[in-house]
C-alpha cells in the first residue's frame, strides 16, 4: 500500500463530488419513476462492473467469490440494496439536504455498535461524543414539534442500515479480501434489487435514459475512486473529508432543486459532524497506541 496522503485526500474529495452528483440524479429520476426500477438499473450496471473487476483478480471469478463468511456476505448485499432503496426514497420525499443531515449520524452508530458487536473497546470519551452527536440529531429532527416530519424516519433508517453494513464490513474483513466483499456486494445487490424492481418497470424518456446512464457510471466511478483513495492513504486521514459530500449535496439541493437549509438542520448537522470527527480522532489515537 502506498502512503500518499495528498493524492488520497484529492481522490476522496473527487469521490464525494461524484457521490453528491449521483444523489442529485437519483432524486431527479426518483421523482419521476419508480424508485425500485431506478435502484435495479443502477445495480445491473454495478454488477457488470463488479464482475469485470473480479475477472481481473488473480484466480478470476472463483477466487473473488471465495469467502469464509458466505451468510454474512449475502446479508451485507441485502442490507446495502435495501439501504440504497430507502435512501433514494428519502431524497425524493424529504429532499437531499435534510436526508443527508440525518444520514450523517451513521459513523456514530458504527462507533456505538462496534463495542457490543465487534468486541471493540469504546471509552467514555467516544461514548460522550456519540451522545453529543445524537443531541445534534435531535436538533435536526425536532421531535415533539409540529415541524417534525415522519418522513425523517427514512434517512434515519438508511443510516441505521448503513451502520450495520459498515459493522459487517469490518467483521468479514477479518478473513475475506476487499475484492471478495466487493464481488458479493454487487452480485447479491443486483439479485435483490431485481426482485424488488422488475415488477415496477416503466418506460423512460430519451433524456432520462441519458441521466440513468450517468447515474450508473457515476456509481461505478465513485466506488472505484473510493477504493483507490484507500489504496494510497490511511482511512483515518481520509474519513474526515468524506463529510464534504454533505457540503456538495447541500449546494445541489439549494441550486438545482430549490431546497431550503433550515437553521436547526444546519446547527444540528454541525454538532453531528463535530461529534463524528472527534470519534474518528479518538479511534486514530487508539490505533497509534496498539
Decide if pLDDT at 119 tops 80.
no
Q: Is residue 176 part of a domain?
A: no
Q: Is residue 133 part of a domain?
A: no
Decide if pLDDT at 145 tops 60.
no
Q: Is residue 215 part of a domain?
A: yes
Decide if pLDDT at 240 tops 80.
no
Total domains, the chain: 1
pLDDT of res. 147: 45
pLDDT of res. 166: 83
Domain that holds residue 222: 1-33+203-259
Decide if pLDDT at 63 tops 80.
yes
| pLDDT digit string, tens, across residues 23-51 | 999 999 999 999 999 999 999 999 998 89
The CA–CA distances, whole Å, from 133 to 56, 200, 268, 286, 289 equal 42, 38, 8, 20, 25
* Residue range 60-86: mean pLDDT, rounded: 92
Q: Is residue 54 part of a domain?
A: no
Q: Is residue 88 part of a domain?
A: no
Q: Is residue 12 part of a domain?
A: yes
Q: What is the pTM of this model?
A: 0.85
Q: Is residue 288 part of a domain?
A: no
Region class of 142: left (phi > 0), else alpha (psi between -120 and 50), else beta: left
* Residue range 46-59: mean pLDDT, rounded: 86
Q: Is residue 158 part of a domain?
A: no
| Higher per-residue pLDDT: 92 or 59 | 92
Angle at CA 111, nearest 5°, toward 185 and 138?
A: 105
**116 Cβ neighbours under 8 A, 6+ residues apart:** none
Amino acid at each position: 500500500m502506498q502512503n500518499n496522503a495528498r493524492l488520497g485526500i484529492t481522490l476522496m474529495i473527487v469521490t464525494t463530488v461524484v457521490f453528491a452528483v449521483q444523489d442529485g440524479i437519483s432524486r431527479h429520476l426518483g421523482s419521476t419513476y419508480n424508485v425500485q426500477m431506478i435502484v435495479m438499473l443502477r445495480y445491473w450496471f454495478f454488477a457488470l462492473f463488479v464482475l469485470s473487476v473480479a475477472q481481473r483478480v488473480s484466480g478470476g471469478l472463483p477466487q473473488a467469490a471465495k469467502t469464509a463468511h458466505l451468510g454474512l456476505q449475502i446479508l451485507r448485499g441485502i442490507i446495502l440494496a435495501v439501504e440504497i432503496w430507502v435512501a433514494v426514497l428519502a431524497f425524493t420525499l424529504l429532499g437531499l439536504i435534510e436526508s443527508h443531515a440525518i444520514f450523517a449520524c451513521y459513523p456514530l452508530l458504527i462507533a456505538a455498535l462496534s463495542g457490543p458487536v465487534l468486541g471493540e473497546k469504546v471509552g467514555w470519551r467516544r461514548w460522550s461524543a456519540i451522545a453529543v452527536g445524537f443531541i445534534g440529531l435531535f436538533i435536526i429532527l425536532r421531535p415533539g414539534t409540529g415541524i417534525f416530519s415522519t418522513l425523517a424516519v427514512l434517512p434515519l433508517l438508511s443510516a441505521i442500515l448503513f451502520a450495520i453494513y459498515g459493522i459487517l464490513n469490518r467483521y468479514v474483513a477479518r478473513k475475506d479480501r476487499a475484492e471478495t466483499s466487493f464481488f458479493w456486494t454487487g452480485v447479491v445487490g443486483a439479485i435483490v434489487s431485481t426482485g424488488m424492481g422488475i415488477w415496477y418497470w416503466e418506460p423512460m424518456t430519451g433524456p432520462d435514459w441519458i441521466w440513468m446512464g450517468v447515474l450508473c457510471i457515476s456509481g461505478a466511478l465513485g466506488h472505484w475512486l473510493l477504493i483507490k483513495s484507500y489504496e494510497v492513504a490511511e482511512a483515518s486521514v481520509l474519513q474526515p473529508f468524506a463529510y464534504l459530500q454533505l457540503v456538495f449535496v447541500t449546494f445541489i439541493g439549494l441550486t438545482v432543486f430549490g431546497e431550503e437549509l433550515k437553521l436547526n438542520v444546519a446547527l444540528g448537522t454541525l454538532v453531528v459532524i463535530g461529534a463524528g470527527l472527534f470519534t474518528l480522532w479518538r479511534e486514530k489515537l487508539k490505533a497509534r497506541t496498539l
